[in-house]
């Protein structure tokens, strides 16, 4: 059963696998034409309390969802923008970032089917095209990255492993949003599909909110489940009309 919306909700939306379908290559995804307008309508309906919380960069979100512009957290909590007109605030560039980039480029250059996504504050190695080599690829990344610096974390997702600075995740982003003007006093509802979203689920539930899992991946935290990004979009499209009948 789908969760019934409340007027005091704050929505936190993962992107890949949640709002849009996955692709073999991170830039091979398709943005539905009506999605930017849907996000804008949700902002208006919920008093601006709609945020994108993703492994993508905030700059990517702004470009691909234009003209919609939302509060956002990118790179798994490493950068955050608490309001559409606020600046995006990143963590300092980790000292291990450039040495790791050079090492992974060298070590994975001849591994077919892999793609290294170079983000400003982290690196993600994708292997959706060659899932049979996933364990070996992830171990290679861990071997290369271990010892490069303090606080390096390896985040394993579906067909991807991301190397990032510890201490920041989607849960810490939700906690920051919930202390900000647009979100304070609201009930957080986090939608996500991957293991990287578990921190967001935890933070939302600890604040009295809901976790909505997308897709078949098992999780102990889901209060509700939607099957596909298409179902997510259909459900989100119905929220504004449903909320018109809800008394604040």
Catalytically active residues are 14
Asked if residues 159 and 126 have their Cβ atoms less than 8 Å apart, the reply is yes
Which strands form 9-13's sheet, in the order they lie side by side? Answer: 89-90, 79-81, 72-74, 50-53, 9-13, 187-192, 210-214, 224-226
How far apart CA 213 and CA 224 sit, in angstroms, is 6
- 3-state SS string for 42-66: HHHHCCCCEEEECCCCHHHHHHHHC
Residue 217 token pair: 């991946």
């Amino acid at each position: 059963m789908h969760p019934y919306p409340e007027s005091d909700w704050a929505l936190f939306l993962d992107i890949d696998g949640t709002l849009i379908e996955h692709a073999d290559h991170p830039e091979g995804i398709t943005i539905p034409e009506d999605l930017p307008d849907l996000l804008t309508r949700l902002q208006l309906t919920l008093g601006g309390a709609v945020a994108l919380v993703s492994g993508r960069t905030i700059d990517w979100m702004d470009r691909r969802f234009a003209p919609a512009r939302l509060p956002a957290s990118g790179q798994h909590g490493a950068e955050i923008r608490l309001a559409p007109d606020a600046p995006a605030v990143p963590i300092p560039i980790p000292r291990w970032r450039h040495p790791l980039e050079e090492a992974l480029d060298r070590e994975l250059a001849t591994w077919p089917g892999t793609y290294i996504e170079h983000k400003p504050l982290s690196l993600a190695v994708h292997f959706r095209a060659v899932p049979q080599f996933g364990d070996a690829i992830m171990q290679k990344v861990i071997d290369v990255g271990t010892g490069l610096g303090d606080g390096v974390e390896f985040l394993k997702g579906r067909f991807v492993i991301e190397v990032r600075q510890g201490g920041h995740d989607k849960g810490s982003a939700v906690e920051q949003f919930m202390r900000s003007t647009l979100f304070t006093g609201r009930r957080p509802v986090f939608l996500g599909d991957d293991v990287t979203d578990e921190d967001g689920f935890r933070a939302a539930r600890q604040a009295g909110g809901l976790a909505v899992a997308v897709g078949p991946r098992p999780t102990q935290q889901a209060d509700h489940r939607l099957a596909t990004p298409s179902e997510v979009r259909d459900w989100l499209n119905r929220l504004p009309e449903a909320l018109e009948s809800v008394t604040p």
